[in-house]
Amino acid sequence: MLIAAEHVLTGEDGDDHVPALGFVDIADGMISRVGTGQQPADVTLADGYLLPGFVDLQVNGFFGVEFQIADADAWARVMTRLPETGTTACVPTMITAPVSSLADALRTAAAFVPDLPPGGARVLGVHAEGPFISPARRGAHNEKWITDPTPSAVAELAEAGRGLLRIVTIAPEMPGALTAIEALSAAGVLVSVGHSDATAAQVGAAAERGARMVTHLFNAQRPLGHREPGVVGQALTDPRLTSGLIVDLHHVAQAVCGLAFRAAPGRILLVSDAVAAAGMPPGEYLLGGELISLPADDGAPPVRRDGTIAGSALRMDRAVANAVRSGLSLPAAVAAATRIPADLIGRPDLGRLRPGAAADLVWLSPQLRTRATWIAGRLVYTDGAAGTLAAVRA
Protein backbone atom coordinates (compact mmCIF):
# COMPACT_ATOMS: atom_id res chain seq x y z
CA MET A 1 0.00 0.00 0.00
CA LEU A 2 1.33 3.41 -0.96
CA ILE A 3 0.04 6.47 0.92
CA ALA A 4 0.56 9.90 -0.62
CA ALA A 5 0.23 13.06 1.44
CA GLU A 6 0.53 16.80 1.04
CA HIS A 7 3.29 16.82 3.68
CA VAL A 8 5.29 13.85 4.99
CA LEU A 9 7.26 14.44 8.20
CA THR A 10 9.66 11.60 8.92
CA GLY A 11 10.27 12.33 12.62
CA GLU A 12 13.97 12.65 11.87
CA ASP A 13 13.90 16.26 10.70
CA GLY A 14 14.73 18.80 13.37
CA ASP A 15 14.83 21.98 11.31
CA ASP A 16 12.13 24.46 10.32
CA HIS A 17 11.40 22.94 6.93
CA VAL A 18 8.03 21.27 6.38
CA PRO A 19 8.43 19.10 3.27
CA ALA A 20 6.02 19.20 0.36
CA LEU A 21 4.19 16.34 -1.37
CA GLY A 22 5.52 12.91 -0.43
CA PHE A 23 4.65 9.26 0.01
CA VAL A 24 5.17 6.23 2.24
CA ASP A 25 5.14 2.71 0.80
CA ILE A 26 4.15 -0.16 3.12
CA ALA A 27 4.73 -3.90 2.78
CA ASP A 28 4.05 -6.59 5.40
CA GLY A 29 3.48 -4.05 8.14
CA MET A 30 6.80 -2.30 7.56
CA ILE A 31 7.86 0.79 5.66
CA SER A 32 9.60 -0.13 2.42
CA ARG A 33 10.04 3.32 0.82
CA VAL A 34 9.70 6.99 1.74
CA GLY A 35 10.04 9.71 -0.84
CA THR A 36 8.96 13.06 -2.21
CA GLY A 37 7.05 13.97 -5.33
CA GLN A 38 4.09 12.46 -7.15
CA GLN A 39 3.52 8.70 -7.13
CA PRO A 40 0.53 6.53 -8.11
CA ALA A 41 -1.07 5.97 -4.71
CA ASP A 42 -3.51 3.55 -3.10
CA VAL A 43 -4.41 6.22 -0.54
CA THR A 44 -4.20 9.98 -1.09
CA LEU A 45 -4.53 12.32 1.88
CA ALA A 46 -5.93 15.60 0.63
CA ASP A 47 -4.40 17.89 3.25
CA GLY A 48 -2.52 17.98 6.54
CA TYR A 49 0.47 15.89 7.52
CA LEU A 50 1.50 12.24 7.49
CA LEU A 51 3.96 11.36 10.25
CA PRO A 52 5.08 8.55 12.58
CA GLY A 53 2.75 7.42 15.34
CA PHE A 54 3.33 9.06 18.72
CA VAL A 55 5.32 7.28 21.44
CA ASP A 56 4.16 8.24 24.95
CA LEU A 57 6.51 7.21 27.77
CA GLN A 58 4.23 8.32 30.61
CA VAL A 59 0.51 7.56 30.57
CA ASN A 60 -1.25 6.50 33.78
CA GLY A 61 -4.57 5.80 32.11
CA PHE A 62 -7.17 7.11 29.70
CA PHE A 63 -10.87 6.81 28.86
CA GLY A 64 -11.87 6.09 32.47
CA VAL A 65 -9.25 3.39 33.04
CA GLU A 66 -6.35 3.55 35.52
CA PHE A 67 -3.72 1.04 34.39
CA GLN A 68 -2.46 0.37 37.91
CA ILE A 69 -5.70 -1.29 38.99
CA ALA A 70 -7.18 -2.36 35.64
CA ASP A 71 -7.58 -5.85 34.22
CA ALA A 72 -6.64 -7.15 30.78
CA ASP A 73 -9.95 -6.15 29.18
CA ALA A 74 -9.63 -2.57 30.41
CA TRP A 75 -6.03 -2.31 29.17
CA ALA A 76 -7.15 -3.64 25.79
CA ARG A 77 -9.95 -1.05 25.57
CA VAL A 78 -7.51 1.79 26.16
CA MET A 79 -4.93 0.44 23.72
CA THR A 80 -7.63 0.12 21.09
CA ARG A 81 -8.70 3.75 21.58
CA LEU A 82 -5.33 5.49 22.06
CA PRO A 83 -4.85 5.68 18.26
CA GLU A 84 -7.69 8.24 18.33
CA THR A 85 -5.10 10.58 19.87
CA GLY A 86 -2.33 9.61 17.44
CA THR A 87 -0.54 7.41 19.98
CA THR A 88 0.63 4.10 18.53
CA ALA A 89 3.03 3.01 21.31
CA CYS A 90 3.14 3.80 25.02
CA VAL A 91 4.57 2.95 28.42
CA PRO A 92 1.69 2.57 30.91
CA THR A 93 2.62 4.19 34.20
CA MET A 94 1.99 3.15 37.81
CA ILE A 95 2.52 5.67 40.59
CA THR A 96 3.64 5.39 44.21
CA ALA A 97 2.09 2.54 46.18
CA PRO A 98 3.40 0.04 48.76
CA VAL A 99 6.18 -1.97 47.15
CA SER A 100 4.21 -5.20 47.55
CA SER A 101 1.17 -3.67 45.83
CA LEU A 102 3.26 -2.37 42.94
CA ALA A 103 4.90 -5.77 42.61
CA ASP A 104 1.47 -7.42 42.46
CA ALA A 105 0.31 -4.95 39.80
CA LEU A 106 3.44 -5.61 37.74
CA ARG A 107 3.00 -9.38 37.98
CA THR A 108 -0.65 -9.10 36.99
CA ALA A 109 0.13 -6.94 33.96
CA ALA A 110 3.08 -9.11 32.94
CA ALA A 111 0.73 -12.10 32.73
CA PHE A 112 -1.63 -10.52 30.18
CA VAL A 113 0.30 -7.84 28.25
CA PRO A 114 1.86 -10.32 25.79
CA ASP A 115 -1.65 -11.54 24.90
CA LEU A 116 -3.35 -8.17 24.37
CA PRO A 117 -5.24 -8.25 21.06
CA PRO A 118 -3.48 -6.79 17.99
CA GLY A 119 -4.58 -3.54 16.45
CA GLY A 120 -4.11 -1.32 19.49
CA ALA A 121 -1.24 0.85 20.66
CA ARG A 122 1.92 -1.12 21.34
CA VAL A 123 2.81 -1.61 25.02
CA LEU A 124 6.56 -0.96 25.35
CA GLY A 125 6.76 -1.83 29.04
CA VAL A 126 5.64 -0.28 32.32
CA HIS A 127 6.89 2.91 34.00
CA ALA A 128 7.06 2.75 37.81
CA GLU A 129 6.85 6.40 38.88
CA GLY A 130 7.73 5.83 42.51
CA PRO A 131 7.76 4.79 45.29
CA PHE A 132 11.45 5.79 45.46
CA ILE A 133 10.78 9.54 45.43
CA SER A 134 11.22 12.52 47.72
CA PRO A 135 8.45 13.32 50.23
CA ALA A 136 9.36 16.98 49.72
CA ARG A 137 8.47 16.76 46.00
CA ARG A 138 5.76 14.12 46.06
CA GLY A 139 3.19 16.11 44.06
CA ALA A 140 -0.02 14.04 43.96
CA HIS A 141 1.69 10.89 45.30
CA ASN A 142 0.72 9.45 48.68
CA GLU A 143 3.44 10.32 51.18
CA LYS A 144 2.83 7.31 53.44
CA TRP A 145 3.82 4.89 50.65
CA ILE A 146 7.09 6.59 49.74
CA THR A 147 10.11 4.49 50.66
CA ASP A 148 13.87 4.29 50.16
CA PRO A 149 15.18 2.27 47.19
CA THR A 150 16.74 -0.47 49.30
CA PRO A 151 18.30 -3.42 47.43
CA SER A 152 15.44 -5.68 48.54
CA ALA A 153 12.71 -3.24 47.43
CA VAL A 154 14.37 -2.64 44.06
CA ALA A 155 14.87 -6.37 43.55
CA GLU A 156 11.22 -7.09 44.39
CA LEU A 157 9.97 -4.69 41.71
CA ALA A 158 12.55 -5.81 39.17
CA GLU A 159 11.66 -9.47 39.68
CA ALA A 160 7.90 -8.84 39.57
CA GLY A 161 8.25 -6.78 36.40
CA ARG A 162 10.76 -9.00 34.66
CA GLY A 163 10.32 -8.46 30.94
CA LEU A 164 7.84 -5.62 31.53
CA LEU A 165 9.40 -3.02 33.85
CA ARG A 166 10.94 -0.51 31.46
CA ILE A 167 11.23 2.85 33.29
CA VAL A 168 11.66 3.68 36.98
CA THR A 169 11.47 7.23 38.34
CA ILE A 170 13.81 7.79 41.30
CA ALA A 171 14.82 10.78 43.42
CA PRO A 172 18.64 10.45 43.43
CA GLU A 173 19.05 12.10 46.84
CA MET A 174 17.19 9.26 48.59
CA PRO A 175 19.35 6.88 50.67
CA GLY A 176 20.64 4.08 48.45
CA ALA A 177 19.39 5.72 45.25
CA LEU A 178 22.70 5.81 43.38
CA THR A 179 23.24 2.10 43.98
CA ALA A 180 19.69 1.42 42.82
CA ILE A 181 20.18 3.52 39.69
CA GLU A 182 23.31 1.58 38.82
CA ALA A 183 21.60 -1.78 39.37
CA LEU A 184 18.47 -0.89 37.39
CA SER A 185 20.49 0.57 34.52
CA ALA A 186 22.62 -2.55 34.36
CA ALA A 187 19.41 -4.59 34.14
CA GLY A 188 18.26 -2.61 31.10
CA VAL A 189 15.73 -0.41 32.91
CA LEU A 190 15.62 3.25 31.89
CA VAL A 191 16.10 5.30 35.05
CA SER A 192 14.46 8.71 35.21
CA VAL A 193 15.13 11.42 37.79
CA GLY A 194 11.87 12.78 39.15
CA HIS A 195 9.81 13.85 42.15
CA SER A 196 13.14 14.99 43.47
CA ASP A 197 14.62 17.76 45.61
CA ALA A 198 18.13 16.89 44.40
CA THR A 199 20.83 19.43 43.75
CA ALA A 200 22.36 19.67 40.30
CA ALA A 201 25.39 17.77 41.57
CA GLN A 202 23.19 14.92 42.80
CA VAL A 203 21.42 14.74 39.45
CA GLY A 204 24.79 14.69 37.73
CA ALA A 205 25.84 11.80 39.97
CA ALA A 206 22.67 9.96 38.95
CA ALA A 207 23.55 10.45 35.28
CA GLU A 208 27.06 9.16 36.04
CA ARG A 209 25.47 5.97 37.42
CA GLY A 210 23.25 5.52 34.38
CA ALA A 211 20.13 7.72 34.66
CA ARG A 212 19.14 9.01 31.23
CA MET A 213 15.76 10.70 31.67
CA VAL A 214 14.02 13.36 33.76
CA THR A 215 10.33 12.88 34.61
CA HIS A 216 7.97 15.77 33.72
CA LEU A 217 10.52 18.59 33.68
CA PHE A 218 9.74 21.49 36.08
CA ASN A 219 7.00 19.61 37.92
CA ALA A 220 7.64 18.06 41.37
CA GLN A 221 11.36 18.82 41.36
CA ARG A 222 13.85 21.37 42.65
CA PRO A 223 13.56 24.32 40.26
CA LEU A 224 16.26 26.23 38.44
CA GLY A 225 18.11 28.65 40.70
CA HIS A 226 20.82 31.08 39.72
CA ARG A 227 23.20 29.70 42.37
CA GLU A 228 21.85 26.14 42.73
CA PRO A 229 20.74 24.90 39.26
CA GLY A 230 18.69 22.09 40.81
CA VAL A 231 17.09 19.28 38.86
CA VAL A 232 15.88 21.63 36.14
CA GLY A 233 19.26 23.27 35.58
CA GLN A 234 21.08 19.95 35.35
CA ALA A 235 18.40 18.49 33.07
CA LEU A 236 18.67 21.35 30.62
CA THR A 237 22.46 21.42 30.49
CA ASP A 238 23.52 17.76 30.85
CA PRO A 239 23.78 16.09 27.42
CA ARG A 240 23.24 12.67 29.03
CA LEU A 241 19.68 13.55 30.07
CA THR A 242 16.48 13.76 28.03
CA SER A 243 13.47 15.30 29.74
CA GLY A 244 9.78 14.52 29.47
CA LEU A 245 7.62 17.63 29.26
CA ILE A 246 3.85 17.88 29.78
CA VAL A 247 2.91 20.53 27.22
CA ASP A 248 -0.70 21.09 28.21
CA LEU A 249 0.27 24.70 29.01
CA HIS A 250 -1.06 24.25 32.55
CA HIS A 251 1.72 22.14 34.08
CA VAL A 252 4.28 24.43 32.44
CA ALA A 253 3.57 27.89 31.01
CA GLN A 254 3.88 28.34 27.27
CA ALA A 255 6.86 30.70 27.55
CA VAL A 256 8.72 28.27 29.82
CA CYS A 257 8.05 25.39 27.43
CA GLY A 258 9.63 27.51 24.73
CA LEU A 259 12.65 28.17 26.93
CA ALA A 260 13.12 24.44 27.55
CA PHE A 261 12.96 23.59 23.84
CA ARG A 262 15.55 26.26 23.06
CA ALA A 263 17.82 25.32 25.97
CA ALA A 264 17.93 21.57 25.22
CA PRO A 265 17.20 21.02 21.52
CA GLY A 266 16.72 17.34 20.72
CA ARG A 267 16.61 16.43 24.44
CA ILE A 268 12.98 17.19 25.23
CA LEU A 269 10.27 14.60 24.61
CA LEU A 270 6.53 15.09 24.88
CA VAL A 271 4.57 13.01 27.39
CA SER A 272 0.88 13.12 28.18
CA ASP A 273 1.03 12.06 31.86
CA ALA A 274 -2.64 11.32 31.16
CA VAL A 275 -4.78 9.74 33.86
CA ALA A 276 -8.14 7.92 33.84
CA ALA A 277 -9.95 11.25 33.50
CA ALA A 278 -8.42 11.87 30.06
CA GLY A 279 -10.91 11.56 27.25
CA MET A 280 -13.78 11.66 29.74
CA PRO A 281 -16.37 14.28 30.81
CA PRO A 282 -15.78 16.45 33.89
CA GLY A 283 -16.20 14.52 37.12
CA GLU A 284 -14.39 12.40 39.69
CA TYR A 285 -11.91 9.64 38.84
CA LEU A 286 -9.15 7.67 40.58
CA LEU A 287 -5.38 8.05 40.58
CA GLY A 288 -3.32 5.89 42.90
CA GLY A 289 -6.48 4.84 44.69
CA GLU A 290 -7.44 8.42 45.56
CA LEU A 291 -10.12 10.67 44.10
CA ILE A 292 -9.22 13.35 41.59
CA SER A 293 -11.54 15.83 39.89
CA LEU A 294 -11.50 16.82 36.23
CA PRO A 295 -12.75 20.41 35.85
CA ALA A 296 -14.95 21.61 33.03
CA ASP A 297 -12.27 23.94 31.61
CA ASP A 298 -11.06 22.50 28.32
CA GLY A 299 -7.50 21.25 28.65
CA ALA A 300 -7.25 21.91 32.40
CA PRO A 301 -5.63 19.07 34.37
CA PRO A 302 -7.32 16.99 37.09
CA VAL A 303 -6.66 17.96 40.71
CA ARG A 304 -6.68 16.41 44.16
CA ARG A 305 -9.09 17.77 46.76
CA ASP A 306 -6.34 20.08 48.03
CA GLY A 307 -5.88 21.56 44.54
CA THR A 308 -2.68 19.66 43.70
CA ILE A 309 -2.41 18.87 39.99
CA ALA A 310 -2.83 15.12 39.51
CA GLY A 311 -1.69 14.07 36.05
CA SER A 312 -3.33 15.47 32.94
CA ALA A 313 -6.12 15.05 30.42
CA LEU A 314 -3.70 15.74 27.55
CA ARG A 315 -3.80 14.06 24.14
CA MET A 316 -0.48 13.62 22.33
CA ASP A 317 -1.72 15.35 19.17
CA ARG A 318 -2.67 18.35 21.30
CA ALA A 319 0.77 18.23 22.94
CA VAL A 320 2.35 18.54 19.48
CA ALA A 321 0.08 21.48 18.62
CA ASN A 322 0.92 23.16 21.94
CA ALA A 323 4.65 22.63 21.34
CA VAL A 324 4.29 24.44 18.03
CA ARG A 325 2.41 27.24 19.82
CA SER A 326 5.37 27.42 22.21
CA GLY A 327 7.75 28.20 19.35
CA LEU A 328 8.95 24.77 18.23
CA SER A 329 8.94 24.04 14.51
CA LEU A 330 6.46 21.37 13.44
CA PRO A 331 9.19 18.89 12.39
CA ALA A 332 10.92 19.34 15.76
CA ALA A 333 7.61 18.95 17.63
CA VAL A 334 6.90 15.74 15.72
CA ALA A 335 10.38 14.43 16.57
CA ALA A 336 9.75 15.20 20.25
CA ALA A 337 6.65 12.98 20.17
CA THR A 338 8.09 10.21 18.00
CA ARG A 339 11.77 9.62 17.32
CA ILE A 340 13.21 11.09 20.52
CA PRO A 341 11.13 8.95 22.93
CA ALA A 342 11.50 5.88 20.69
CA ASP A 343 15.29 6.22 20.72
CA LEU A 344 15.40 6.80 24.46
CA ILE A 345 13.37 3.65 25.13
CA GLY A 346 15.61 1.65 22.79
CA ARG A 347 13.13 1.20 19.91
CA PRO A 348 14.75 2.55 16.74
CA ASP A 349 12.12 0.65 14.72
CA LEU A 350 9.48 3.11 15.96
CA GLY A 351 8.99 6.86 15.80
CA ARG A 352 10.29 7.50 12.29
CA LEU A 353 9.29 7.04 8.69
CA ARG A 354 12.12 5.23 6.99
CA PRO A 355 12.63 1.86 5.30
CA GLY A 356 12.68 -0.97 7.82
CA ALA A 357 10.66 0.87 10.48
CA ALA A 358 7.25 -0.29 11.63
CA ALA A 359 4.42 1.20 9.56
CA ASP A 360 2.86 3.06 12.50
CA LEU A 361 1.50 6.25 10.95
CA VAL A 362 -0.71 9.18 11.87
CA TRP A 363 -2.54 11.60 9.58
CA LEU A 364 -2.97 14.99 11.25
CA SER A 365 -5.32 17.67 9.95
CA PRO A 366 -3.96 21.15 9.16
CA GLN A 367 -5.07 22.01 12.74
CA LEU A 368 -2.90 19.09 14.01
CA ARG A 369 -5.78 16.87 15.10
CA THR A 370 -5.65 13.12 14.46
CA ARG A 371 -7.71 12.15 11.41
CA ALA A 372 -6.48 8.59 10.87
CA THR A 373 -3.99 6.15 12.39
CA TRP A 374 -2.32 3.01 11.07
CA ILE A 375 -0.47 0.41 13.17
CA ALA A 376 1.75 -2.09 11.35
CA GLY A 377 0.22 -0.79 8.12
CA ARG A 378 -3.36 -1.52 9.20
CA LEU A 379 -5.90 1.27 9.51
CA VAL A 380 -7.06 1.24 13.14
CA TYR A 381 -8.74 4.65 13.44
CA THR A 382 -10.43 7.26 11.29
CA ASP A 383 -12.34 10.27 12.58
CA GLY A 384 -15.10 9.82 10.00
CA ALA A 385 -15.03 13.46 8.95
CA ALA A 386 -16.22 14.36 5.48
CA GLY A 387 -13.76 12.96 2.97
CA THR A 388 -11.75 11.06 5.54
CA LEU A 389 -13.32 7.65 5.07
CA ALA A 390 -12.95 7.75 1.31
CA ALA A 391 -9.37 8.96 1.56
CA VAL A 392 -8.14 6.20 3.85
CA ARG A 393 -9.74 3.25 2.05
CA ALA A 394 -7.04 1.21 0.35
pLDDT of residue 46: 87
Residues 130 and 217 occupy one common structural domain: yes
The rounded Cα 56 to chain-centroid distance in angstroms is: 2
Percent of the chain with pLDDT over 70: 96
**pLDDT confidence bin for 288, thresholds 50/70/90:** confident
For residues 26-51, give the mean pLDDT.
94
Q: Is the pTM of this model over 0.75?
A: yes
Is 273 annotated as catalytic? yes
- Please tell me what DSSP assigns to residue 188: T
pLDDT of residue 386: 56
Residues 220 and 281 occupy one common structural domain: yes
On whether the CB atoms of residues 333 and 258 are closer than 8 A, the answer is no
Number of domains in the chain: 2
Distance in angstroms between the alpha carbons of the first and the last residue of the chain:
7
Among residues 56, 197, 273, 343, which one is catalytic?
273
Q: Is the pLDDT of residue 195 over 60?
A: yes
Digit-coded pLDDT (tens) for 205-228? 999 999 999 999 999 999 999 999
Closest Cα to residue 170, out of 207, 124, 122, 119?
A: 207
For residues 268-273, give the mean pLDDT.
98
On whether the CB atoms of residues 315 and 168 are closer than 8 A, the answer is no
Residues 305 and 383 occupy one common structural domain: no
Residues 238 and 160 occupy one common structural domain: yes
Residue numbers of the domain that contains 298: 54-344
Q: Is the pLDDT of residue 47 over 70?
A: yes
Residues 364 and 318 occupy one common structural domain: no
Give CA–CA dist 351/51, Å, rounded: 9
| Per-residue burial over 183-222, b = 16 or more CB atoms within 10 Å of its CB, e = otherwise | bbbeeebbbbbbbbbbbbebbbbbbebbbbbbbbbbbbbb
Residues 248 and 367 occupy one common structural domain: no
Digit-coded pLDDT (tens) for 257-267? 999 999 999 99
pLDDT of residue 390: 59
Give CA–CA dist 46/137, Å, rounded: 48
Digit-coded pLDDT (tens) for 140-174? 999 999 999 999 999 999 999 999 999 999 999 99
pLDDT of residue 80: 98
Q: Is the pLDDT of residue 14 over 80?
A: no
pLDDT of residue 137: 97
Residues 336 and 222 occupy one common structural domain: yes
On whether the CB atoms of residues 329 and 16 are closer than 8 A, the answer is yes
**pLDDT confidence bin for 367, thresholds 50/70/90:** very high
Give CA–CA dist 104/229, Å, rounded: 38
Residues 200 and 233 occupy one common structural domain: yes
Digit-coded pLDDT (tens) for 295-340? 998 889 999 999 999 999 999 999 999 999 999 999 999 999 999 9
Residues 136 and 237 occupy one common structural domain: yes
What CATH number has the domain bearing residue 187? 3.20.20.140
**pLDDT confidence bin for 387, thresholds 50/70/90:** low
In angstroms, what CA-CA distances link 160 with 70, 93, 148, 185, 310? 17, 15, 18, 17, 26
